[in-house]
Structure 1
């Protein structure tokens, strides 16, 4: 009995190469989600994710940039939400976004995954601010504190 093997499709080889790139360059625990043809990074140990509406995220990103704390930022396919990749919030004694639920700010940590944009992936995920080698990720607390400050001012979105 002989079995015929087919080479992996080009999109899968591209995703595997992108996965290796992220793991080697940034040390992120990245997985290939074959069914969705995308990459996802596990959250909770190396990094976490804070998601919020794009209008608020744009303001938060600008403020973090002024403080030299801007980090990787991902736009969702719907264009209405952006996700900040942050250091893992390991010292959490409760929900760090407590009080921001009305602003649709969400923290994803241990046990969750977030999509990582790739040229090979489909679905419309893309970088607003790409990660850089040796770049320290911003603290989840700095992102939340900035969002909280902006939401408490009368001009917040």
Structure 2
């Protein structure tokens, strides 16, 4: 059922849906404050699914990997890590919400009904980079 709804590699573990990061989907985990700014920047997209942890500390953006596949350049990865952004490795599991309501894992930005549409990784990375660079507490060099 979950595989059919999401069209992605979802499996159940202890009655919890887990999404496996890999060829079909990647993930970008951000602190909530940065995630909220990125979500607003991406509001023009038809669907930007974002999972929030139970305490709303981190938001995980689900993204489509590039075709043909290429890794994120190390310089960009370092910049992201310095700003609290992580990229779960292939094979990692992302907990998916079991309901639309808190508490627990919940949607910070719920996907559209039907087959899950994912934004391209490059679009989300560009929005993250801009949100970091335009933060009010950041001093330009």
Instruction: Tell me the equivalent position of 1:148.
Output: 129
- Cα distance in 2 for partners of 1:53, 1:135 equals 23
Displacement, 1:145?
A: 1.3
Equivalent residue for 1:52? 30
Equivalent residue in structure 2 for 1:77, among 19, 38, 54: 54
Count of residues in Structure 1 that have an aligned counterpart in Structure 2:
133
Change (3 A) 1:57 1:154: closer
Give the TM-score taking structure 2 as reference length: 0.82
Aligned partners of 1:69, 1:148: CA distance in 2, in Å? 21
Cα distance in 1 for partners of 2:58, 2:88 equals: 14
1:92 maps to 71
Distance 1:136 1:94 in 2: 25
More helix by share: 1
**Larger RCO, structure (CA 8 Å, separation 6 or more):** 2
Distance across 2 between alignment mates of 1:98 and 1:142: 18
CA distance in 1, matches of 2:135, 2:104: 33
CA RMSD of aligned residues (A): 2.4
Unaligned 5+ residue runs, structure 2? Answer: none
1:41 aligns with 2:22: no
Q: CA deviation at 1:62?
A: 0.4
Deviation of the 1:25 alpha carbon:
2.1
**1:110 CA drift (Å):** 1.5
Q: Distance in 2 between matches of 1:64 and 1:138?
A: 9
TM-score by length of 1: 0.74
